[in-house]
Structures are given as C-alpha cells and as structure tokens.
Amino acid sequence: MNSHHPEKRLLILVGSPRRDGNSAALGAAALRGAEAAGASATLLFLDDYIQEFLPDLRRKPAPSDRYAELFLEHFLPADGALICTPIYWYGMSAQTKAFFDRSFGHYAGAGPEPERVKARMAGKRLGLAVASEETYPGAALGIVHQVQEYARYTHSDFVGYVHGVGNLRGEVEADPWQPLEAAARLGADFFTRKYSDYRIETPRARNVWESAEQPTARERP
C-alpha cells in the first residue's frame, strides 16, 4: 500500500564521488523505498553539478558549472531532500558543504528573485544519511547538527537520519545495524513520518502515537 501522496517529490543528493560507494548505496536504498511508497523520487550526484566553491560574488561572477540547474530546477521544486554524505574529518564532504554554501548566491540580497527563492527553500522535509568507517555514533553528530540547524533556519522539518558503517565500496550492506533497510524505511515514510519539535506554548496531547491505548484511571499515576 502506498504511503505517499503521488505529487510529493523527493530529491536524494549524494555527496560522495564514489558512484558505487556506501553513501550512494544508502541513497539508492532510500530511492527504492520512496518509489515503492508512491513518491516521485530522483537521485543525483553532487559532483555532476558542482565543480567550484562559493567565490566572493562582489569580485567574481558565479561559477559556470551546473549548480544553478541543480538548485533551481531540482532542489527548489522538491517537497523533500535527503542528503547522503560520507563523513570526512567528522564533517560532511566538501561537495555536500558546497551545495549549502552555493545557495547563498541565489537567495542573498533584495528583490523579487531572492524572495522567491527563500520562499521555496522553506517548509521542506529534510533527511540525512551518513556513511563512515567508524562505528562511533558521535562521528555523525556534527553533520546531524548542521542539517538540523539548516532545517531550523529554513523553517523545514528534519525528519530523521541513518548512519551506516563501512569502508570498502558497498560494505555498508554488511553493517549488522542494517542501515540499508533503515534508509529504505526513511525513503518510504519520508512524507508521512511523525515530526514534532515542541515549544513551551505548543498544545499537545498526552500520547505521542494516535494508536496508543489510553490508560484507564486505575493505570494512571
């Protein structure tokens, strides 16, 4: 049974140069899950589009690579984006960081076009898949925090992340924590997964899950 609305569009961005690497494997698993659930999903490799970093735009023109195509024609129209990156020096890959940095050239400044871009950057569902050689869970936390802060900045929902462990190409499949299955589940329920981020003034029910049985008066503390 499909859990997605067919009109929802998921963009999966792989920030590894390895086409058959572990980040790509996590992205491919998420793609399979999303398509099985009825979403319109696309997987792209960042280094097909990004060849340069963000320059000083006051002194140099924007680079002449395909970043504008990636950002304007793929990212902005998407309802959700899954970022897949290896962990390099306890952070995201340079390609992945450049994806976020280069967006500045499209939303900075005043005028109707930056305002249009900012409006379309906001309100997305975001996810993360990271691959590392280390099993140490804290290795991914810097990247998790960075994507979480991007979500906060753009009024988006960071709905989850997967951490797979492997070094050889495709070795993440042998990870006993089964990150490929977790990535497929993330892709499948990307637009339906419960998301909550409470504030002190947020009205909320006592139970988290609608299917949870309400305790009887005798069972209540």
Say which residue, 206 or 154, is predicted with more confidence: 154
Give the mean pLDDT of the chain: 91
User: For the chain, which domains are there?
Assistant: 9-188 (3.40.50.360)
pTM: 0.89
| pLDDT tens by residue, 73-86 | 999 999 999 999 99
| pLDDT tens by residue, 87-130 | 999 999 999 999 999 999 999 988 899 999 999 999 999 999 99
Any residues with CB less than 8 A from the CB of 35 and at least 6 apart, and which? 41, 187
Q: In a 10 Å sphere around its CB, with 0-12 CB exposed, 13-18 middle and 19+ buried, how is residue 200 labelled?
A: exposed
Cα–Cα distance for residue pair 166/219, rounded to 1 Å? 46
Q: Say what the pLDDT of residue 1 is.
A: 44
Q: Please give the average per-residue pLDDT across 147-152, as a whole number.
A: 97
Could you tell me which of 142, 129, 133 has the C-alpha nearest to residue 185? 129
Say which residue, 10 or 58, is predicted with more confidence: 10
